[in-house]
Amino acid sequence: MRDRLQTGSAPATRDHDVEYEEVSVPVLVVGAGAAGARVAIELSEQGVEPLVVGKRDHGDAHTTWAAGGINASLGSLDPDDDWTIHAADTLDEGHYINDPEAVEVTTKHMPDRIRELEEWGMPFDRTEDGRINQRYFGAQSFRRTCFVGDRTGEAMLDTLVAKAQSLEIPYRDNVLVTRLLSDGERVHGAAGYHMESGEFVCFVADHVVLAAGGYSALYHRHSSRDDENNGDGPALALQAGASLLDVEFVQFHPTGMVGDRYGEEWDGRLVTEAVRGEGGRLFNADGERFMERYSPDQMELDARDVVARAIAQEVREGRGTENGGVYLDISHRDDEYVRERLPRMYERFAALGVDITEAPMEVAPTAHYSMGGVDIDFHTGETGVEGLHAVGETVAGVHGANRLGGNSLAETVAVGKLVGDHVATQVGDEGPSLPDSVRALAEREFRALADLEASDGDVTPRALLEALGDCLWDHAGILRDEASLREGLAELDEIRERTADLRVDGDRTGRAFEFAVDLSFSLTLAEALLLSALEREESRGAHYRTDFPETDPDWRRNVLVGADDTGLSLWTRGVGDPSEAVQRALDAGYELDYHHLE
């Protein structure tokens, strides 16, 4: 029997004078990208009707910005590939602090998830004999990355949204969740507001699934839009009583656009790894193909952290462009091949006056993906707070210290199906209810939001977010050390103090109010990031400490963050070992031979 959504309006109370809509639903999915959509599809197919809420229009999520591809060991071009080698590559790239079980769950299920997407209509590029085509991606032993030109994420989300619509899954767009309704042990729903009308809404739910993205947009140069990936998913979970894991690991994609060259609007926007996967070459301002010095075997297709540090080093030593970047060149490939394999990149740069079949692109590292996030059980999505689950970039575990390109989209559908299946088994016959104490929490949140809207100080939320972005870029960027991290924490305290003088122009329907809400999430994640980076006294993957430049075997541990009334607390735990099958693949030492592309 399918559980039905119940909605109704709660009037203003005499004591609190706050009006809000109340919506009752068995499962609330917060986030409408690929992870949230896949969870919702599974719930619906198991007979449970969820409600999906997103803070953008339906079908407009960060998933669409994932361009290059999605990994699965199909063996279309390299039949020796299998899921154990995919797992081994993922663990190796993650510098062995990934959750081995999470890695195996993802890699083992991905061939079936790709075939499922194919069945649902995803228009994968094909080989001449009709198989799903696969391309090279950095640090992978075989051609494993399935793709739709260079718009894979967009095609995937379109496919998932169409499937969800065929199942008539309820969806509300332009809703921003600002607090989970939790007593620290159990979640009872969420509070938020309609971004177009400004009306408050209280969601009453026995189960909440967070699929709200990561926190890479905290940095001033990043590949996200400014209104997403600002930490709301992990911050909501932390506030509700869950723990965060490995927040210090932020991936800096080697190739973001350089704003000084292409304009502020494009600063940090992603130049997909598919350019390098199709044979793109990196040159410094002196015309040297500098990856020959840093990685002569894997060249431009070494791990993202390696390539990003190499570019940063070239710029630091004076071999960068006037704009602080390097050049990425694909012009040696056939013109038609480039237009066919990289249509979006070709069109984007053509609109900016650059023909990439004839001239190089100017690029520099950009904050792109957060490997850290909520600590979960990957079979269930459980967070340790009863009724609260999480999935996608909101969580940590699959990627460890650095993510393989193409694994982010893989995680969303592989783990999303499992989480949806588990949550469906937990939904009872009785409808959700809201205890009086938790209702009071919701009403306090609405009053706090009303107070925030009325803020009339001298500093704007956007100005503080920009200051925060500079703080993290300067003190917790590609290269870190203790002194700089401590300076970052001091700057963070100063930014927090300035929030007392906040000014919000306009009402709750405006961007200023949205950024004011985002600011609270971002400050929380920034503190967790700086503290975690200070705690990890080694270099591993995307976390590079110049004062601890070596990887320390004793630091093969995860750093966890919790929150209570006194603030944030940190602790560590050991990492498990892979299965015998994956260990055999690790011992075999598979490795990409870049020179297949030459």
In whole angstroms, what is the distance from residue 294 CA to residue 594 CA? 14
HSE-CB for 134 with a 13 A CA cutoff: 22
C-alpha span between 378 and 258 (Å, rounded): 37
What b/e string do you get for 181-213 counting C-beta neighbours within 10 Å, with b at 16 or more?
bbeeebbbbbbbbbbeeebbbbbbbbbbbbbbb
Are 380 and 228 within 8 A, CB to CB?
Answer: no
The 8-class DSSP code of residue 589 comes to T
* Strand (E) or helix (H) holding 394: none
HSE-up of residue 350 (Cα within 13 Å, Cβ side): 9
Crossing angle for the helix pair 232-240 and 511-535, to the nearest 10 degrees: 70
Residues with catalytic annotation? 253, 276
Phi, psi (degrees; rounded to nearest 5) at 214: -110, -140
Structural contact between residues 254 and 304, judged by C-beta atoms closer than 8 angstroms: yes
Pairing outcome for strands 326-329 and 281-283: antiparallel
Nearest alpha-carbon partner for 13 in 440, 395, 367, 307: 440
C-alpha distance across the termini of the chain, in Å: 58
Helix (H) or strand (E) holding 352: none
